[in-house]
């Protein structure tokens, strides 16, 4: 009977560890989504959210590996830390359920597995119960240098996350002398019912060109939505293209209903975003244009798209 109990606890340890490892892994697909969630929930500065995302991923992975290997630490601190982390996540899930309802993805397994707050709370309850059983009844491995193995696991995995997903310190890339006039005439075509209510050729605007079915476009739009929530004065606008079937999923995922938008057919959309190089036409989306009186001054990719840089740019006098 004792051997059976030991075998069951070994399987429980491996299962809990694998769950933590998989949870950490899915938060990196892509890690920017996890960063956006942290900013959206905590409203902390983007740079600190970038650091925290990597620390949490590395820490969660290290807990998982340690538990799977039965390295529970002195007084089982690894298990107790995992328990505390689950309790913190559960408080977040309750908050999410209250503020946004149960029909949202909690992000516990990133974008890989859609899970509602209630389902994730149930999952956490099971993990908490299993951890309590391990704390009470299972010793784990203990040897002379076990503390060193635990330390190396945590330091190694934290370092690995920062190596594979480095924090980007790239500055805004300005087009300089290559800046060009943006032709937005298609947005104001006669009879167009959803023509912009503002003149995008006058003043400063940040215009995102997104395809409804493009996953990177959705990440860019989500980031714009969060920035807009942080600072409602930001002059964001979206030009979107794509099938009607992707319209609702796009806004369900990005929550970007706080940003005005115009829809375009595929051909006029391509004409605006197309770039010509050595005789070839190149279309790359998402495209985020910083427009000053109709002239495009910068086109950052959505990963380094920075709210601080936007706010600094808006304070500068127009050069055109």
For 182-221, how does the pLDDT look when each residue is reduced to its tens digit (9 = 90+)? 999 999 999 899 999 999 999 999 999 999 999 889 999 9
Q: Is the pTM of this model over 0.85?
A: no
Is 170 within a domain? Answer: no
Is 160 within a domain? Answer: yes
**Domain match, 225 and 135 both:** no
Query: 113, 142, 164: which is the final residue of a domain?
Result: 164
Is 42 within a domain? Answer: yes
Q: Are 139 and 131 in contact (CB under 8 A)?
A: no
Residue 172 has what pLDDT? Answer: 67
Between 286 and 142, the more confident residue is: 286
For 5-27, how does the pLDDT look when each residue is reduced to its tens digit (9 = 90+)? 888 889 999 999 999 999 999 99
**Domain match, 131 and 197 both:** no
The domain total for the chain is: 2
Residue 63 has what pLDDT? Answer: 97
Query: 139, 164, 189: which is the final residue of a domain?
Result: 164
Q: Are 165 and 50 in contact (CB under 8 A)?
A: no
Highest-confidence segment of 32-41, 70-79, 142-151: 70-79
Is 47 within a domain? Answer: yes
Count other Cβ atoms within 10 Å, centred on residue 24.
24
**Domain match, 27 and 154 both:** yes
Q: Are 304 and 170 in contact (CB under 8 A)?
A: yes
Query: 142, 164, 186: which is the final residue of a domain?
Result: 164
Helices (H), the chain: 2-26, 31-42, 46-68, 77-100, 117-137, 146-164, 215-230, 247-254, 266-273, 307-315
Q: What is the mean pLDDT of the chain?
A: 90
Paired sense of beta strands 287-292 and 261-263, if any:
unpaired
Contacts of residue 213, Cβ cutoff 8 Å, sequence gap at least 6: 242, 243, 246, 250
**Domain match, 141 and 44 both:** yes
**Domain match, 156 and 206 both:** no
**Domain match, 154 and 208 both:** no
Q: Is residue 280 scored above 70 in pLDDT?
A: no
Domain containing residue 255: CATH number: 3.40.30.10
**Domain match, 88 and 227 both:** no
For 109-120, how does the pLDDT look when each residue is reduced to its tens digit (9 = 90+)? 888 888 999 999
Residue 278 has what pLDDT? Answer: 47
Residue 154 has what pLDDT? Answer: 96
For 155-177, how does the pLDDT look when each residue is reduced to its tens digit (9 = 90+)? 999 999 999 999 876 666 778 77
Between 26 and 141, the more confident residue is: 26
Q: Are 133 and 6 in contact (CB under 8 A)?
A: no
The Cα–Cα gap between 3 and 5 comes to 5
Across the strands, what pairs with 237?
207
Is 35 within a domain? Answer: yes
Domain of residue 245 covers: 176-315
């Amino acid at each position: 009977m004792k051997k059976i109990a030991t075998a069951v606890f070994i399987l429980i340890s491996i299962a809990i560890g694998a769950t933590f490892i998989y949870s950490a892994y899915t938060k990196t697909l892509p890690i920017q989504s996890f960063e956006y969630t942290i900013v959206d929930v905590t409203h902390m500065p983007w740079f600190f959210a970038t650091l925290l995302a990597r620390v949490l991923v590395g820490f969660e992975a290290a807990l998982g590996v340690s538990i799977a290997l039965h390295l529970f630490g002195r007084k089982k601190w690894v298990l107790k830390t995992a328990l505390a982390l689950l309790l913190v996540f559960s408080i977040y899930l309750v908050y999410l359920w209250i503020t946004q309802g149960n029909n949202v993805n909690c992000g516990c397994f990133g974008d890989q597995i859609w899970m509602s707050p209630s389902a994730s709370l149930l999952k956490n309850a099971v993990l908490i119960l299993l951890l309590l059983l391990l704390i009470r009844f299972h010793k784990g491995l203990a040897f002379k240098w076990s503390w060193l193995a635990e330390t190396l696991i945590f330091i190694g995995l934290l370092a690995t996350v920062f190596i594979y997903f480095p924090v980007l310190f790239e500055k805004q890339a300005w087009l300089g002398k290559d800046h060009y006039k943006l032709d937005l005439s298609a947005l104001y075509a006669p009879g167009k019912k959803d023509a912009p209510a503002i003149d995008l050729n006058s003043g400063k605007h940040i215009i995102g060109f997104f395809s409804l079915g493009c996953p990177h476009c959705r990440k860019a739009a989500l980031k714009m939505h969060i920035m807009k929530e942080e600072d409602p004065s930001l002059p964001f606008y979206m030009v979107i293209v794509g099938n009607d079937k992707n319209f609702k999923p796009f806004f369900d995922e990005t929550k970007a209903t706080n940003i005005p938008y115009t829809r375009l057919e595929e051909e006029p959309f391509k004409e605006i975003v197309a770039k010509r190089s050595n005789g070839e036409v190149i279309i790359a989306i998402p495209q985020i244009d910083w427009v000053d009186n109709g002239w495009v001054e910068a086109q950052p990719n959505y990963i380094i798209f920075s709210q601080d840089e936007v706010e600094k740019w808006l304070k500068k006098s127009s050069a055109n």
